[in-house]
Each structure stands twice: as C-alpha cells, then as structure tokens.
Structure 1
Amino acid sequence: MENYYIKTNRTFTNIRKYGWIFTVLVAIGGLWEPKLGLLVIFIMAGLTTTSFFTGRYWCGNFCPHGSLFDRITMPISLNKKIPQFLKSKFMVTGFFLFFMYNFSRKVINVSKFWGTYDFFDKLGFVFVTTYLMVLVTGGLFAILVNPRTWCQFCPMGTIQKLSHALGRAVGVANKAEKKVTIENLDKCHACGKCSRVCPFQLTPYLEFGENNQFNDINCIKCATCVENCPANILSLRTEDEAIELKEKVSTKGYENRQKIKAKISDIKDLGKDIKEYTFSFVSPKKVDYRAGQFILIKIQDKPKAFRAYSISSFNEDSTKLSVIIKKVEKGYGTNIIFNDFKIGDIVELEGPMGDELVIDDSAEKILFIGNGIGITPFIGLSKEALMKNPSIKDVKLLDGQRYEDEFLYKSYFESLDEKEKKFQYIPVVSRDKTSSIRKGYVTHVLEDMDLEGYKVYICGSKNMIVDSYNILLDRGVKKEDIFYESEERISIKN
C-alpha cells in the first residue's frame, strides 16, 4: 500500500522558500555572533501579533522553521503519520510549560548582567541555543516522521493559539481571519487529497462547518489544500467572504447527488492497466444521470475517501453505469480498486455530479476533443448527442493517443462513424511511427478544421486542454462555447 500522505510543494512565496536561511543564520551563525539571537524577539512579536487576528497563519506563511521543514527536509522525510500522542493536549500543554519554565529561567539568569557589556551577547545566546535545539530536534522529527511533527507541540504555536483565542474573545479575529472555505459541500469529491497534502494531517473535507469553513484551530492557512484540490473549489476567505460565496455559487449539475449502493456486475480488461467497471444499482434501483457527468466511488472507510471517475456509459434505463479506470503508477486509489474490487462486491457510490461536459441541448454542431484516458466520457456523450438531440447536425470526435494500441473503444467509434452520417471519428497518434493512423496531436488537427458554429467539449491532459483552448479562441470560437474537464488543476487566463 502506498503512503497515504503525499509530498507536495508547500512553498508558494519567496518567504516560504527561503525563510529557512534565517533559522540557519541564527542557530549556527549565532554560535559565533550571539547577538543574532536577538532577531528572534521580532519573530516572537510578529507571530503573537498576527495570530491575534489570523490564528496560526504565521506558522504556514512566515515561520523560518516551517520553511526549513517544508523546503529542506521534505524531500528526505519519511512523511509518515504523526503519532497522536504528539498532538495530544497533555503533550502540547506539558511541553509548553516545560519550555517556558526553562526559557524564563535562562532569561532571569541573564538579567543579572543587565548594564554590562556582555548582556546582549548572553541574552542573544539564549535565543541561539533555543533555535539550535529546534533545528536539531525538529529536523530529526521532520526526517524520521513528518516535516511538521515539531509544529504539533511547538511552544510558539501554543502562544499563537492563546493569542488567537483572545482575538476571538474581543471579536477581532472573527472578521479578520481567513479560513479554508469550500464553495459548496455538494461539489466536494471527498477524495481526501486536502488531508493527504495537509502539513498537519488535518481532514478539512470531513469537517467543514458553518458557512462552509474549516474551523480547526490548528489549521496554519498555508493554502496547500487549496492549491491541490482536484475540484478547484477551495479558497482562503473571511467569514463575510464565505457567506457571499455561498450565496452566489452555482450548484448546477449537482442537484441529484445522492448516496448509492451498487453491485459490481462486470469488469472488463480494455488494455494494459485499463479496466471498465460496471455498477448495477441496488439502492435506489434507478438513478438518473447524463453522459458527461461523473460518479464518486468509495475506496475506504478510515478515513472515508472516494475517487471521482467520468461516466463512460450511455443512460439507457437508469439501472447501471460504467466507468473506465486507468491504473496509475503508485496511485493510492487505483491500486485499491484494481487489487480489491471484484465482481459481485457491494460498493458505495455518490453522484451523479458535474455539468462541465453535459451537452447543451441547443447545440447543432459539436466537437469532442479527448486524449489519453480523457476519451472516456465521449463514449456515452457521442451516443447521447446522436440519439437524444434532434437539433444536432454534426458531431466530430478527435481522439489523440500516443500509440495505436492505446485507443479505447476505437472499433465502437469507427462503427458509429460508418452508421451515422452526422458523426465523424478522427483518431491521431503522436509517437507510433509504424501506424497508418494520422500522425501528430489533436491540436494539429484543430488548426486545419472549420470550427464555425461548433460547441466544443474537451477532456484529457492539462497541456492538451490549455493548448486546444487557446487555438480555439484564436480560430474564433467563443469562450462560452468551450467546455472542459480534467483530473488536473487548470488555470486558463484567457
């Protein structure tokens, strides 16, 4: 089984990338120039002040030690689950009292030298040795357990929580604090990725509360979950901003989301590491869905986690659906599905969800563009467009793969091409030099096509979607006529 927790970039600003230099400068350089330790006083003042308004925001965005753990130790960390004991109130409170006692004792001893030449050197050295202790102890925890292990019981973190509690008590933090916020709970894939990338191993997707905000006091607002959310529905917002978002966000395509008990009625091998799973509904016995939507498949209970897959089947009688899954190397979810799911198993589904690829009923000319496993939704969409849309005059499908043996449902699309005058199937291979199929990428075909009047639906790799989107705009296709979906986070700025 792959490690549940994922190593990912957490350093989105220069402060987070290079703040660790300050830690090394004080902890190591301070051994020769003790006055460097006095700089830590400004760090303590900064974290205490900011936490009054924003909670543990400092930990995730400005802390020099946090930068060290995320930037330097992350690549070599074992990245294991943080022991619950180190997060316990007993540990946090006990270590805070122990630390403050020893720190205060050292400062009091140094105060005897007030007014002497050595005072600032001796006071600075107290901070230097403290920083060195955190560098060594926290560094070992970071490598042998998890990068942010030390942060679970860090005394400065406790100070931030105390300051934040005061800020909330006087009503300041309630308005100023930005929390992880979800657009709408119905849009959550419940994939658990926000938890898997969280430095503190928190579980936002299971704990969103009032106004769709994550209220855990230990959240350091580092935005790692925001950057990694597959559904792109997380953000950092104040309470007022969250309320405004909640009121204006559209839930089109998610109105029929429901819990579904289903039985695996068929599993087909479609190629190397690619399988088609068919689920027959048990309860409820019928579920209405449209081609182009996706479904969630539960992969585990603790912690609860699902995986989202595009529906590949055409809805004939609402009693079953199919999805095509490609096994991902070191993929946590696909390994569970490929290894554990068997015909006859009862599984939990949620959905149907999404409207990005659902066909506009007014469309007369449609262009589908897919590559890799992204061709999956167009199996059902092609049939739906031809059978359920009487206004359709023309449907084209561009299917890009690397090699000829990677095409999915190629014979089905070719048969559809022969039977339906309105349908044209255009396969393209990018690397197969021996194939008789047209060489190149789907973007090459796009550049030569007449695109006037088409509504375009795209699914596949991030690069293909971005390149296709830009070509379509250059060729005169309107933004409102381009629809896309990808498993990767995409930000198109055009």
Structure 2
Amino acid sequence: MLEQWYTGVVTKIVNETYNTRRFWIHIPEKEAFHFKAGQFVTLDLPIHEKKNKRWRSYSIASHPNGSSDIELVIVLLDGGAGTTYIFNEIKEGSELILRGPLGNFILPETMDRDIFLICTGTGIAPFRSMAKFLHKNQIAHPNIHLIYGSRYEKDILYKDEMRALAAEMPGFHYHPTLSREDSPDWTGHRGYVHNVYEDLLSDRRPAHFFLCGWKVMIDEAKQRIQAMGYDRHDIHLELYG
C-alpha cells in the first residue's frame, strides 16, 4: 500500500548556515504526525512532468513528540532542481505536498552495545531526531557517539544544540571534526570522520554503526568498519544524493 500524500504548510524558515535552511512544516490533515526517529518524508515538487523526477526525500530533523509539525534541514545544492525550487520559491505560508513517514533507518530495538552515529552535512538530521527522542523520553541507552564531519566551522549544523545535549545527556558524546578548517581557534578534531571512530574503537568493543551522508563517506566508512573486524550487519545506512 502506498502512503497517502498530505499538504503541509511551511510555518517557519530559519537560515542555519549560509547555504542551509531549517523548514518547519505543519500537516493540518493529521492530528498527530507519527513517525519513528530516523525516518524521512518525500516531497512532491512542481519541477518536472514525470512524478519520480519531482520527488525529493529528506530525513525528519525533529523528534517524535505527538504533534503534527516536523522540521527538515535542507542544503542548497549547486544546480539541484529540487533545492533550487525550495530555496527560491518556498516561503513561510507556502504549501508542500509530502508523504511519509518512510524508511527503516531507526534505532535498534535492543540497544545492547555502543552506538556510533556517523554523518556529514545534513546527514545529522536523523541523528538529531534520535538523540533528542531518547533524551526527552528518558530512554535508557548505551554510550552514543555522534561523529559529525564538515569542512569548516561555519558549516556545522546544530552545533550549540549538540554541545548542550552532550553536556546534559549522560552517555551522549559529540565529536565534530573539520577537514579544511585552518583557524587556530578550532580546538576540536581535524580531518575526516573515519579517524575519529577508529580512534574511539581501538579496543574493538561491540558496536552498532549508523551512517548518513554522501555516498563517498558512506562507502569508505563501510569498508573501514569491516576492515576493523565488524560485521556488515552491524552497519546501517541512509544515503544522500
């Protein structure tokens, strides 16, 4: 059965970085828009005659809270028909056609070992949803390591929020790493995400891996994690682009 399409109304737009925006969408047809942390919605944008060329999927960045509002975080892609339309045409009060929730990129039912959430760019969206859901509902969990890769400090999404969450949520560890930042003011990790999880897992303890972001990062992470001795079934992915 195909999921139903709904009409959402954009209630708020905030520029998160120079090329990334947060969109809050209210779905008036639903008293509550129920989803699991990590799932996504598909938008039907008026950018092509063919249906499947109009569809763009985005992870829900907000956590399930029983309301009929969700948040998406979207980066403007050079030459991307979907994001160009969204950035140029969508204003507060605009309508968006969407369906969902979709996807099986969700936390394991049994959280019996450390969880590594590894992402780049807007790939942080499902992990923000997961972390906030666990925290708000006081759900017991193992150590969770959010490893977030960006080029520069100005690119980091939800930086202050994630730092605050790491300070108040026991067992939640935030590891941003920057591949091109040359400012001496940056005292955090430098380089790519791979070095960070390899260092953290030098003891090869049991772990679940969740990867979200661009294909190049995910392909390399899959290869490196398996080279460390982990089983491919320990690795869960959500591909962007």
TM-score (norm 2): 0.90
Give 1:475-486 correspondences, 5 Å limit: 475-486=228-239
* Change over 3 Å in CA distance of 1:420–1:284 after alignment to 2: closer
- The C-alpha deviation readout for 1:145-201, integer Å capped at 9, x for no partner, is xxxxxxxxxxxxxxxxxxxxxxxxxxxxxxxxxxxxxxxx84xxxxxxxxxxxxxxx
Residue of structure 2 in register with 1:263 after alignment: 9
Q: CA deviation at 1:474?
A: 1.9
Residue 214 of structure 2 corresponds to 461
Q: What is aligned with 1:445?
A: 196
Aligned-partner Cα distance in 1 for 2:96–2:195: 42
Deviation at 1:389, TM superposition (A): 7.3
State the distance in 1 between where 2:182 and 2:44 align.
40
Quote the residue 2:39 is aligned against: 293
Give the letter for the 2:13 counterpart: I
Aligned residues: 233
Task: Give 1 or 2: higher helix fraction.
Answer: 1
- Matching of residues 366-445 of structure 1 within 5 Å: 366-388=115-137, 390-434=139-183, 435-445=186-196
2:56 corresponds to 1:307: yes
Q: Give me the whole-angstrom Cα distance separating, in 2, the residues matched to 1:485 and 1:396.
A: 17
The residue that corresponds to 1:352 in the other structure is 101
Residue number in structure 2 paired with 1:160: none
What CA distance in whole angstroms lies between the structure 2 residues aligned with 1:391 and 1:477? 24
- Partner of 1:333, secondary structure, is helix
State the SS of the aligned residue for 2:28.
strand
Q: CA deviation at 1:462?
A: 1.3
Deviations 1:305-326 (A, max 9, x none): 2211111110112311111111
Q: Structure 1 residues 301, 332: closer, same or farther in 2, change over 3 A? A: closer
Report the residue type matching 2:21 in the other structure.
K
1:138-149 mapped onto 2 (5 Å cutoff): none
Q: How does 1:89-108 map to 2 (within 5 A)?
A: none
The offset of 1:400, in angstroms, is: 0.8
- The alpha carbon displacement at 1:436 in A equals 2.1
2:110 match: 362
Classify 1:474/1:319 alpha carbon distance in 2 versus 1 (closer, same or farther; 3 Å): same
Which letter maps to 1:430?
S
C-alpha distance in 1 between matches for 2:64 and 2:34? 8
Amino acid at match of 2:159: K
C-alpha distance after superposition, 1:289-340 (max 9, x if no partner): 1121110112117624221111111011231111111111111111111111
Pair 1:391–1:475, CA change in 2 (3 A): farther
- Is 1:318 matched with 2:73? no
Alignment of 1:328-343 (within 5 A): 328-343=77-92
SS at match of 1:376: helix
Distance 1:306 1:286 in 2: 23
Deviations 1:39-67 (A, max 9, x none): xxxxxxxxxxxxxxxxxxxxxxxxxxxxx
Which of 265, 268, 273 is equivalent to 2:19?
Answer: 273
- In 1: Cα distance, 2:63 partner to 2:116 partner: 18
TM-score, length of structure 1 as denominator length: 0.45
Alpha-carbon deviation of 1:437?
A: 2.1
**CA distance in structure 1 between the aligned counterparts of 2:79 and 2:47, rounded to whole angstroms:** 20
State the Cα distance separating 1:391 from its structure 2 match: 4.1
Q: Is the 8 A contact 1:289 1:318 kept in 2?
A: no
Q: Measure the CA separation in 1 of the matches of 2:238 and 2:197.
A: 18
Q: Which runs of 5+ in 1 are unaligned?
A: 1-184, 187-256, 489-494
CA contact (8 A) 2:13 2:23 kept: yes
Question: 1:366 deviation in Å?
Answer: 1.2
3-state DSSP of counterpart to 2:67: coil
| Cα distance per residue 1:237-278 (max 9 Å; x no partner) | xxxxxxxxxxxxxxxxxxxx3221211111110011210111
| Separation of aligned partners in 1, 2:128 and 2:219 | 22
Question: Contact 1:300–1:306 at 8 Å: present in 2 too?
Answer: no
By how many angstroms is 1:387 displaced?
4.3
Any idea what SS the aligned residue of 1:471 has? helix
What whole-Å deviation, never above 9, does each CA across 1:204-262 have from its counterpart, x for those lacking one?
xxxxxxxxxxxxxxxxxxxxxxxxxxxxxxxxxxxxxxxxxxxxxxxxxxxxx322121
Identity %: 27
Structure 1 SS opposite 2:133: helix
- Where in structure 2 are the equivalents of 1:40-51 lying within 5 Å? none
Give deviations 1:44-100, integer Å, cap 9, x for gaps: xxxxxxxxxxxxxxxxxxxxxxxxxxxxxxxxxxxxxxxxxxxxxxxxxxxxxxxxx
For the residue of structure 1 that corresponds to 2:188, the secondary structure is coil
Q: What are the superposed Cα offsets for residues 95-128 of structure 1, whole Å, 9 maximum, x if unpaired? A: xxxxxxxxxxxxxxxxxxxxxxxxxxxxxxxxxx
Larger relative strand fraction: 2
- Residue 476 of structure 1 deviates from its aligned partner by 2.4
Higher RCO, 1 vs 2 (CA within 8 Å, ≥6 residues apart)? 2
